[in-house]
Structure 1
Amino acid sequence: MAIEIYKKYMEEKMGADGNVESCKLSIPDKFNFSYDVVDKIAEMEPQRRAMVWCNEQGERREFTFCDIKEQSDRAASYFRSLGIGKGDCVMMAVKRHYQFWFAILGLHKIGAIGVPVTYMLKLEEYIYRFEKLDIKAVICTPDNDVASRVDEAEQMSGKKFMKIILRENRPGWHQFDEGLEKAEKFVPLTFEERPESGDTMLLYFTSGTEGMPKLVGHNFGYPVGHIPTAKYWHNVDPDGLHFTVADTGWAKSVWGKLYGQWLMGAAIYVLDYDSFTAHALLTKMEEDKITTLCAPSAFYRVMVLEDFSKYNLSTVKHYTVAGEALNPDVIEKFSRMTGKQIYEGYGQTESTLMIGVMHWMDVKAGAMGKPSLQYNMELLDEDGQIVPTGDVGEICVKAEPGEIPGMFLGYQGEDELNRSKWHDGIYHTGDLAWRDENGYYWFVGRNDDVFKSSGYRISPFEIESLIVKFPNVLECAVIGVPEKLRGNAIKAIIVLTNGTEPTQNLKIEIREFLKEHTAPYKVPRIIEFVDELPKTTSGKIRRNIWRK
């Protein structure tokens, strides 16, 4: 079925020249990614490579689709033996361990709901999540003291659920790996027993740049919406090895480490690590012959500080970036150093790829690209009117809930928020952009981040992109600070490269540099140097922390 879905989509929606028309993907009844994609490929090409996994300790494992089918069958059988079934919520805080793939596919097979979260959550964050959602079980990594925090949060929240841990034995916990070894032969759900394609399959807590995280729901048809993600944007090679840098607790993980890639039959690469260094990443890319890479903006900002002549990256044919907008200067520098372009993409936890520089398109440094195939998109002003070319508007999608494969079902338990974000047949992303004469979208910022200073509308990202062009600036955040005269004064919070002294003279030099490259009203009046910027677990800078 996976091959049939893909071929039908390609034949109907795209010409040889890459021109596309507005289209609507259709989801088969009772579509289930585990049965209809993974198991189907395992049947057709059992020895096709599915995943290459390695960690910092030098361990390495390769899995075929036949292996993945077998292990996900075992996981499904094990979960069923614990009493987990259709509609039950199972939280997963398992880092980048290969068991994540066994578990999530096993949950799909029994119709349960996966709730991936990052292993980096603190005690209070677990308590909030346990109080927000009734869960049947939690699956945890044994690393980073995650299990202890779950134990304490369970007690403090007053909630009770099964606890499953990987690799080790722990009092009061079930042991996942032993459970898989002892699992009885799995009896798949009959077609009639399967969940409907519109039933909830995944729940994600939003990364929460503003306010408390909200629960975003996706249905069993969601994976099909990632065909354009993998084929047109990641440009994956079915015989290659795709590497998306993302923790499994972040929705970007299933963007790049699961659904679209396996719909294409392409193998995924997983590097299980605790601390990132550009040297380690580039070394692994060389050693394991990565063919396509997708990484967050913060990774590229660090990577361009490396000497690329030390690495043989000739196998890497295509680079993409997502998470938050990447500064044009970094894109241009990367291109000079590698001879390759970085193809930007935009989407949300609530969606699949919404806007992207597809592999056949010209790269414009700083531009997000054009709307993805299945999204009918417009830029609207505050009155809901389409803005002219060149004007800033909110990115909005014309659709009803459940109409577009890949779009979320709504925010669980947040009726007022749902009404404000999705009404009159339009979904409001809360992100601002402008569109040029060639149809490319350019990111401006979140509605909450844009502010006025001396009557001028200020886009933090625009000023940040200029500041990072200054030598010795690693990254920065721009916010508005209340001031009587101007309404808001512009403040820049800057992280310097290693070894750079944060002096008063450096602040003056940065301001003088900006005066030469932008209008005077955009030059920050306040500059603060810090060691690091607070970020969400998905790598987005949390400007709201500084505003508070």
Structure 2
Amino acid sequence: MKHYEDNFAHSSLPSLELQAEYKLLDLPQFNRPEMLNCVEKLLDNHIAEGRGNNICIRTFEETWTYQDLYEKANQIAYVLVEDLGLKSGNRVLIRSANNPMMVACWFAVLKGGGIVVATMPLLRSKELTTIIDCAEISHAFCDSDLSDEMNLIKSSFLKKVCFYKNSPETSGLEKLMETKSKTFHNFHTKADSVALIGFTSGTTGLPKMTAHYHKDILNICEAFPQYSLQPNQNDVFAGSPPLGFTFGLGGLVLFPMYFGASTFLIEKPSPDLLLKAIQDYKITICFTAPTAWRIITTKVTDFDVSSLRKCVSAGETLPLKVWQDWYEATGLKIIDGIGATEMLHIFISSNEENMKPGATGLAVTGYEAKIIDTNGKQLPKNEPGRLAVKGITGCKYLNREEKQKEYLENGWNITGDIFRQDEEGYFYFVARGDDMIISSGYNIAAIEVESVLLTHEDILECAVVGLPDEERGMLVCAHIVLKKNDKATDDMKQSIQQWFKEVAAPYKYPRVINFVEELPKTETGKIQRFKLK
């Protein structure tokens, strides 16, 4: 058995005692052989079984078949091993917008025995340097359009950087690929060898890196997609999340390729471009965040979206108003879901047969979930508490034993979210653990206040946070984007406050309102409430 030559990732894993119970629930689809490279199921088998000419990736400019992706990934794997000196187990950073070459690089790293660290295009050199130093990254692929920040990185760990797409350098990736064979013998790795490292979003200070195995990558394809989407080879996936975000990686690469479908990638997705792709390329399954669904709903009548059959929302909770507006406009039910970088993808969701508007859903096949108090005791139905999950994937922080102990309790992953569970077993989002506002003794969930505000006819977007207050402990503060900026007056603030008290519990009304032109968001569409605080 061949082991990784560079053992950094595996020696940095938490001890087995600090990992969640790996629950297979006696389901054979999650049982993988001891030796496994996930690339074979996701890509190589399509070639071996005669599907090489099937369309795999489309953009507005180009089309790749499975054969195209297979050959380019093999050539890049040769570049990694022969020209860039990759050793098995080395971490390889990928800096790119969503495009076919990024996908080819992603597969090539795993073919060559490396570990993928895909990143968001908006990250700057300081953030990238921190990631490189934390994961001791030795190699990087970078889209030439994003070279400026890459060239500013100074790290003793980074040895080789290879640029692609319009690279002026003679050593650019495409140039190096020209002489390489289009067949490659994949590195023979274990099912429980680390395949990727994801850096958690929204972290401050030293970032947390969480590892996932080759079997994890395949197992999530048997979980949420089978439960909620029922994909087939004729499906065309599209969406806005970056591939550096595990929500985007799953929805736009892993899921379509596991089922032999195709994906449509947009480098700089906007609501208009996403709607144009749906209309012109007959997208059937779309992944995006709640904020995007809200905006798309206002524009959908200008486009033909009749090809759509599944709509998925994740990244943050889906307000009921957004769900209702989209359903009224299209007749389609948005599938809400909660996942986490630590868990790799969605673990609670619904499908068209068991959907309850307003509920996130049920634990998907492969997972269990429950609501617990601060002592780990399971709470009665409808009582808000901490969400605990375990199943086919789990948190594996590298070199962060203290954080691992915070995330794991008695074999369960503690996500940091406050949920409640009704009598039928459905889970309802209440708040992030740190988004609960305690004012004059009342527990007020920021998301509840936001959900009410979004039903106001003049409000486009909003984000609610708690402000420290000597008298009440905290005040409810709403940052609001109006549909028309010229209405941003003190009279409008008072009008909204009075209206709120008439339609919801008065103690929840926002005592402070700030009108803003836009809300701070991550690249994945999450509102950055910490900036508002």
TM > 0.5 between the two? yes
Displacement of 1:526 in angstroms is 0.3
Q: Does 1:301 align with 2:303?
A: no
Displacement of 1:236 in angstroms is 2.5
Q: Does 1:461 align with 2:447?
A: yes
Q: Is the 8 A contact 1:489 1:526 kept in 2?
A: yes
Q: Does 1:367 align with 2:367?
A: no
Displacement of 1:87 in angstroms is 0.3
The residue number in structure 2 matching 1:214 is 208
What is the count of residue pairs matched by the alignment?
Answer: 506
Listed one character per residue, the Cα deviations across residues 436-459 of structure 1 (whole Å, up to 9, x for unaligned) are 122111111211111311111111
The partner residue of 1:166 within 164, 167, 170 is: 164
The partner residue of 2:239 within 236, 244, 248 is: 244
Q: Is the 8 A contact 1:231 1:264 kept in 2?
A: no
Q: Say if 1:92 and 1:76 are closer, same or farther in 2 by CA, change over 3 A.
A: same
The residue number in structure 1 matching 2:322 is 330
Q: Distance in 2 between the 1:203 and 1:355 partners?
A: 22
Q: Distance in 2 between the 1:79 and 1:422 partners?
A: 36
Q: Distance in 1 between the 2:530 and 2:133 partners?
A: 24
- Output the amino acid matched with 1:178: K
Q: Identity of aligned pairs, percent?
A: 26
Q: Distance in 1 between the 2:205 and 2:479 partners?
A: 21
Aligned residue runs from structure 1 range 131-150, under 5 A:
131-143=133-145, 146-150=146-150
- Output the amino acid matched with 2:418: L
Listed one character per residue, the Cα deviations across residues 51-91 of structure 1 (whole Å, up to 9, x for unaligned) are 23224xxx222x22222221211111111112113101000
Q: Does 1:287 align with 2:280?
A: yes
The residue number in structure 2 matching 1:506 is 492
Q: Secondary structure at the match of 2:217?
A: helix
Displacement of 1:158 in angstroms is 4.6
- Output the amino acid matched with 1:244: G
Displacement of 1:186 in angstroms is 4.1
The partner residue of 1:96 within 79, 86, 98 is: 98
Q: Distance in 2 between the 1:265 and 1:148 partners?
A: 36
The residue number in structure 1 matching 2:267 is 272
Q: Say if 1:84 and 1:444 are closer, same or farther in 2 by CA, change over 3 A.
A: same
Q: Does 1:76 align with 2:71?
A: no
Q: Is the 8 A contact 1:207 1:538 kept in 2?
A: no
Per the normalisation by structure 2, the TM-score is 0.90
The partner residue of 1:416 within 384, 402, 421 is: 402
The partner residue of 2:175 within 158, 178, 184 is: 178
The residue number in structure 2 matching 1:6 is none
Q: Secondary structure at the match of 1:395?
A: strand
The partner residue of 2:35 within 9, 30, 33 is: 30
Q: Distance in 1 between the 2:346 and 2:106 partners?
A: 21
Q: Secondary structure at the match of 1:420?
A: helix
- Output the amino acid matched with 1:169: S
Displacement of 1:238 in angstroms is 2.0
Displacement of 1:298 in angstroms is 1.3
Listed one character per residue, the Cα deviations across residues 112-159 of structure 1 (whole Å, up to 9, x for unaligned) are 00000011112321222222221111111111xx322122122xx454
Q: Distance in 2 between the 1:321 and 1:185 partners?
A: 38
Q: Is the 8 A contact 2:192 2:214 kept in 1?
A: yes
Per the normalisation by structure 1, the TM-score is 0.88
Q: Say if 1:259 and 1:224 are closer, same or farther in 2 by CA, change over 3 A.
A: same
The residue number in structure 1 matching 2:194 is 200
- Output the amino acid matched with 1:296: A
Displacement of 1:302 in angstroms is 0.7
Q: Is the 8 A contact 1:472 1:500 kept in 2?
A: no
Displacement of 1:517 in angstroms is 1.6
Q: Distance in 2 between the 1:536 and 1:445 partners?
A: 19
Could you list the runs of 5+ residues in structure 1 that have no partner in the other structure?
1-19, 399-403
Displacement of 1:318 in angstroms is 1.6
Q: Distance in 1 between the 2:473 and 2:250 partners?
A: 40
Listed one character per residue, the Cα deviations across residues 167-226 of structure 1 (whole Å, up to 9, x for unaligned) are 23356x84111222222354414xxx6121111110111112555431111111122222
Listed one character per residue, the Cα deviations across residues 207-264 of structure 1 (whole Å, up to 9, x for unaligned) are 1255543111111112222222222223323212111321122111221112222222
Q: Distance in 1 between the 2:283 and 2:398 partners?
A: 38
- Output the amino acid matched with 1:109: K
- Output the amino acid matched with 1:405: I
Q: Distance in 2 between the 1:225 and 1:239 partners?
A: 22
Listed one character per residue, the Cα deviations across residues 290-340 of structure 1 (whole Å, up to 9, x for unaligned) are 11112111111111222x333221111121111111111111011111111
Q: Secondary structure at the match of 2:123?
A: coil
Deviates more, 1:309-318 or 1:440-449: 309-318
Displacement of 1:414 in angstroms is 0.7
Q: Is the 8 A contact 2:77 2:184 kept in 1?
A: no
Displacement of 1:497 in angstroms is 2.2
Q: Is the 8 A contact 1:50 1:64 kept in 2?
A: yes
- Output the amino acid matched with 2:338: Y
Q: Say if 1:244 and 1:373 are closer, same or farther in 2 by CA, change over 3 A.
A: same
